[in-house]
């Protein structure tokens, strides 16, 4: 498993894209995550697990810090 600490500044985004199974755990900030076209708010304590080949992306409303984990 590969785990990275990542962050986005306000207004930055990761465009929606397909990817392998992944888990995101949000440490601070606020934003919106999109999984297979469904959007929902994320913030401290939120955890999102995306299935294999799901389309996902996110946009930071404030500085958004999160852990991302993937197989490999």
Which pLDDT value is given to residue 17? 94
**Which CATH number fits the domain 2-70, given the four candidates 3.30.70.20, 2.60.120.10, 2.130.10.30, 3.10.28.10?**
2.60.120.10
CA 70, CA 22: separation in Å to the nearest integer? 5
pLDDT in tens, the chain (72 residues): 999 999 999 999 999 999 889 999 999 999 999 999 999 999 999 999 999 989 999 999 999 999 999 998
Per domain, the residue ranges of the chain are 2-70
């Amino acid at each position: 498993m590969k785990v990275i600490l990542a962050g986005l500044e306000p207004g930055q985004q990761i465009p929606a894209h397909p990817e392998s199974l992944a888990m995101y755990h949000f440490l601070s900030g606020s934003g919106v995550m999109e999984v297979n076209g469904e959007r929902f708010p994320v913030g401290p304590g939120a955890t999102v697990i995306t299935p294999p080949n799901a389309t996902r992306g996110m946009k930071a409303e404030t500085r958004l810090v999160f852990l991302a984990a993937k197989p490999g």
